[in-house]
Amino acid sequence: MSTAVSVRHGAFGRAAIYELNKPIIPHGHREGHLIFYLDGAPAVVNVSGVDYITDRENAVAISPWEPHSFDIHSSTHEACLCLVLYIKPIWFLESSQTAEFTLNFGRSRIRVTEQVQQWMHRLTSQLLEEENESLFNGYLFETTAQCYQQSWKGQLNNSILDNLRSRFSDYRVRRSLQLMQDNFRDAFEMESLAREVGLSRPHFFKLFKKQMGVTPNLYLNTLRSEKAIEYLMTTEKTVSDIGFDLGFSSQASFTRFFASNVGIPPSDYRRVANIGA
């Protein structure tokens, strides 16, 4: 069963060490996302339909809302121990010198250079030790910065800029985002949502995917996953109560959802995150 070794939340993101031994279904995040191999079996991360290996020489960068999934690259079912970073979009906005770079990595494949490896190992060591918690934000920043800068070297920026300009430009998509954010706890019928914004279901899915990069279902799953993590970290609600608050019919269905989208069960996430808090 997949487990969390350590989870820590910081000023502009969070980091986790996971031992993963089963696939994670396609999903998305509001945050930028970096996946580093630490030990065990290499893994394959599919980003927007393209497979990328994560091993000692390669890490994977995923821009906010970019759909991705995870699988173990091994015939022996050996687990993959990996370091996973989640970076809030505000970091991209504050760290970008021009609009072309905001909210995106330049490429998904990140070479684990000596500099990247040094900062990655510092961050990993900090996650595994209880002392020096004040260093966490700095290590998270430097690890991300090394990968972010590398991802843009030699890249053409026009296509990224065009994509950013088109995002949120259609009022019907903006309306659907607001409706999902206001009602994500309720049983949601996508056909009803499409009618609410004046579109057929096929047209709505096509337009939403074009502008957001993910399907409406993946967007809704992200909202629920984020709220679940917030509840686990900031309240004393039971896992069962959190699941009911988010619209799930049982603790079992909520646990399956959380494990499929985050990689580990919610009780495991809360236990390890509280140790690192």
Instruction: Write down the pLDDT at residue 98.
Output: 46
User: What are the mean pLDDT values of the chain's consecutive 10-residue runs (277 residues total)?
Assistant: 83 89 85 94 93 95 90 80 89 58 80 94 86 80 90 65 54 86 79 90 89 83 88 91 91 91 87 64
Q: Name every residue whose Cβ is closer than 8 Å to that of residue 138 and which is 6 or more positions away in sequence.
A: none
Nearest Cα to 212, choosing from 64, 82, 100? 64
Q: For 21-50, b where at least 16 C-beta lie within 10 A, e where not — what string?
A: bebbebbbbbbbbbbbbbebbbbbbbbeee
C-alpha torsion angle, residues 93, 176, 226, 236 (rounded to 10): 130
d(CA 219, CA 146): 28
Instruction: Write down the pLDDT at residue 156.
Output: 54
| Residue 187 burial (C-beta neighbours within 10 Å; 0-12, 13-18, 19+) | exposed
Nearest Cα to 83, choosing from 115, 126, 50? 126
Instruction: Write down the pLDDT at residue 22.
Output: 84
Q: What is the pTM of this model?
A: 0.74
Instruction: Write down the pLDDT at residue 99.
Output: 40
Helical residues (DSSP H) of the chain, grouped into ranges: 89-95, 114-128, 136-152, 158-166, 171-183, 190-196, 201-212, 216-234, 239-245, 251-262, 266-276
Antiparallel, parallel or unpaired: β 50-54 and 58-62: unpaired
d(CA 244, CA 226): 15
d(CA 26, CA 37): 19
